[in-house]
Amino acid sequence: MTIEVGTKLEGKVTGITHFGAFVDLSGGVTGLVHISEIADNYVKDVNDHLKIDDVVMVKVINVDKDGKIGLSIKQAVDKPATEQQRPPRGPRTDRPSGGGGREGGGRPGGFGNRDRGGRRPSYNTPSFEDKMSRFLKDSEERISSLKKNTEGKRGGRGARRV
């Protein structure tokens, strides 16, 4: 029997690992159901969902060149037609594109939201130097606080106990 992608088969769980379960298909062929393909919800432990010798319906989702077979339990279950499927994502049509016939987002000069020098406007955001000086100040305060706390625990003046 040849295993093809997309076919649904019945199999028996022969082994469970922390990353999935091995399912024996007919003729001694074994495939792996990855932990992410066991159920629609989050699976923390495979043992909560499957036991050895369970008979499960699986769908073949891939067959590697070296013979490894990827299986899915959640894709083998036919979902009812009443479930709401999310529409495919595409370009938004509920707002104008903002092009305005000009290059660069419709702004005069074609620079988008950058100034003539190619820089973004500041809007009162701190510069890199300001951020760096604040980081150094905070870091020095934390180090001095840490040193004060550890010197008190050592018995003063950094002497080691034997």
Which tokens in the block code for residue 82? 């009443």
Whole-number pLDDT of residue 27: 78
Q: What is the pLDDT of residues 42-88, one digit of tens each?
A: 999 999 999 999 999 999 999 998 889 999 999 988 776 655 556 66
In a domain, 139, yes or no: no
Count of structural domains within the chain: 1
CA-CA-CA-CA torsion sign (11, 12, 14, 19) = positive
Whole-number pLDDT of residue 18: 93
Range of the structural domain that residue 36 is part of: 8-72
Pick the more confident residue, 88 or 107. 88
Give the domain CATH number at 20: 2.40.50.140
Q: What value, to the nearest 5°, has the Cα angle with vertex 57 and ends 53 and 61?
A: 115
Round to whole Å and give the CA distance between 51 and 62: 23
pTM for this model (two decimals): 0.49
